[in-house]
Amino acid sequence: VTQRLFTPGPVEIPDRILSALAKRPPHHRSAVFRELYAGLTPRLNTLFATSGRVVVLAASGTGGMDAAVTAFVGEGTGTLTAEAGKFGDRWEKILRSYGHNPHVVRAEWGRAVPPGEIGKALDEHGADVVFLTHSETSTATLHALRALAAEAQRRGVLVVADVVTSLGVHEFRQDDFGVDVAVAGSQKGLMLPPGLALVGLGERALARLESDGVRGPAFYLDLKKASDSATTGDTPYTPAVSLVMALDEAVRMIEELGIEEVWRRHDAVASAVRAGGVAAGLRLFSESPANSVTAFLPPDGVQAKQVVAHLADKHGFVLAGGQDRLKGKIARVGHMGLAYGADDARRVSEALEEAVIDLGGGGERGRAAQAVAASLAEKPCES
């Protein structure tokens, strides 16, 4: 069985991007690479919708989160995190590993953190920097990033956001949303293999980096050094040249379609998958479902792990299970990037339906396809 990834990153990589990866990379201190980088820089600003600067690190998304913490948090910096899943929790873990003690606003996993609670917590506990999550991958939940950030901005608090599974998926406009620092990864909406972290730095973040303010310990992941060379392509250490070439191609694909159409397309595919899965007898885990990944609870008597295994065995569809406390409880269907379309929504929904029936969860063949078709009629999307 040929595999097809329906995982929440890495995702299926379009052929155009694989071809870019197979190209002989130029030397990173050559004019060819500097031109590539200089050409990419303003387009990354457009992608993040920031007038600041986007830094590209050879690291996974977590490396970017780590860099964002040490760049803006030092001794005495007050921090607050919003946690409603594994990746919200990661902010706290990183902060604690550097000896900080953030105030954590928690919401039940599967729910979104109410913006009002961030405002309340900031009034009660104060903070200099807040750490937020846009699309929480572990629970397939979209947080109201703009409203969350507004609570912090209103109080003059710096906003750092994990947009790893929302960039190129959900509407995100860094400056307009009031996000000072936005961390993304390559293997999600950007459709690349893992290995790059992108950090969008708004004007206020850049000013803060330039100032003599406190910061944490960093050498390789030093955002200030990386930022100083972000526009010239003279990265402080050797960049992952092949992945940068592939990033250039990925951004081109997004530009060709237009970012708003990219967002719309993700909404169409995600809506169809949600409709199809529910028609197959599954329930949505999240109260605020993201368009990056869909988390399903199986019907009574069926185990999430069985569903995941069924799709892998029968169709080669690779879904993800739950993480941490959700291990064994949910099945997650990823649908980030332009490799996913109407056909995928239909095929994965039909496979989910077949799994539920085969595993004794009941149902009737054809309902999922019908629901997918109805959803696509309302929100169309190409294959």
Beta strands in 275-382 (DSSP E): 283-284, 293-297, 317-318, 331-334
Q: Pick the closer one to a copy of itself by CB: 11 or 297.
A: 11
Stretch that binds a copy of itself, among 93-101, 137-145, 262-270, 363-371 (CB under 8 A): 93-101
Minimum Å distance from CB 229 to a copy of itself?
A: 14
Measured between alpha carbons, how far is 323 from 91 in angstroms, rounded to an integer? 16
| Residue of the chain from 150, 318, 357, 359 that contacts a copy of itself (CB under 8 A) | 318
362 φ/ψ sector (left φ>0, alpha ψ -120 to 50, else beta): left
Residues 111-170 contacting a copy of itself, CB under 8 A:
none
Query: 136 - beta bridge partners?
Result: 141
| Residue of the chain from 104, 144, 147, 218 that contacts a copy of itself (CB under 8 A) | 218
Q: Does 101 bind a copy of itself (CB under 8 A)?
A: no
| Residue of the chain from 16, 21, 252, 257 that contacts a copy of itself (CB under 8 A) | 21
Q: Does 59 bind a copy of itself (CB under 8 A)?
A: yes
Q: Three-state DSSP class for 293?
A: strand
| Distance in Å from the first CA to the final CA of the chain | 21
Q: Does 81 bind a copy of itself (CB under 8 A)?
A: no
Q: Does 316 bind a copy of itself (CB under 8 A)?
A: no
Q: Which helix (H) or strand (E) holds 207?
A: helix 203-210
Measured between alpha carbons, how far is 272 from 349 in angstroms, rounded to an integer? 8
Q: How many residues sit in the footprint of a copy of itself (CB under 8 A)?
A: 56
Residues 249-308 contacting a copy of itself, CB under 8 A:
none
Q: Pick the closer one to a copy of itself by CB: 24 or 211.
A: 24
Buried (b) or exposed (e) across 284-295, using 16+ Cβ within 10 A? bbbebbbbbbbb
Are 301 and 284 in contact by the 8 Å Cβ rule? The answer is no
Residues 170-189 contacting a copy of itself, CB under 8 A:
185, 187
Q: Pick the closer one to a copy of itself by CB: 61 or 110.
A: 61
Q: Pick the closer one to a copy of itself by CB: 25 or 281.
A: 25
Q: Does 85 bind a copy of itself (CB under 8 A)?
A: no
Q: Pick the closer one to a copy of itself by CB: 3 or 370.
A: 3
Q: Does 60 bind a copy of itself (CB under 8 A)?
A: yes
Minimum Å distance from CB 339 to a copy of itself?
A: 10
Long-range contacts of 222-229 (CB under 8 A, 24+ apart): 222/67, 222/70, 222/71, 223/55, 223/67, 223/68, 223/70, 223/71, 223/199, 224/71, 226/55, 226/56, 226/57, 226/67, 226/199, 227/53, 227/55, 227/201
Place of tokens 């995928």: 344
Instruction: Provide the H-helix boundaries in 214-303.
Output: 223-228, 241-257, 259-279
Q: Does 370 bind a copy of itself (CB under 8 A)?
A: no
Minimum Å distance from CB 195 to a copy of itself?
A: 3
Q: Pick the closer one to a copy of itself by CB: 104 or 147.
A: 104
Stretch that binds a copy of itself, among 22-30, 74-82, 105-113, 366-374 (CB under 8 A): 22-30
| Residue of the chain from 195, 276, 289, 363 that contacts a copy of itself (CB under 8 A) | 195
Alpha carbon separation from 58 to 25, 69, 238, 296 (Å, rounded): 15, 17, 8, 33
Measured between alpha carbons, how far is 89 from 282 in angstroms, rounded to an integer? 27
Q: Does 24 bind a copy of itself (CB under 8 A)?
A: yes
Minimum Å distance from CB 330 to a copy of itself?
A: 15
| Residue of the chain from 144, 220, 231, 259 that contacts a copy of itself (CB under 8 A) | 220
Q: Does 78 bind a copy of itself (CB under 8 A)?
A: no
Q: Pick the closer one to a copy of itself by CB: 315 or 376.
A: 315
Q: 211 Cβ partners below 8 Å, 6+ apart?
A: none
| Listed residue (20, 59, 65) closest to 251, CA to CA | 20
**Helix orientation angle between 259-279 and 342-358, rounded to the nearest 10 degrees:** 20
Query: 183 - beta bridge partners?
Result: 162, 199
Q: Using CB under 8 A as the criterion, which residues of the chain lie in contact with a copy of itself when the complex forms?
A: 3, 5, 7, 9-10, 12-13, 18-19, 21-30, 32, 58-63, 65-67, 69, 93-94, 97-99, 185, 187, 193-195, 216-222, 237-243, 318, 320
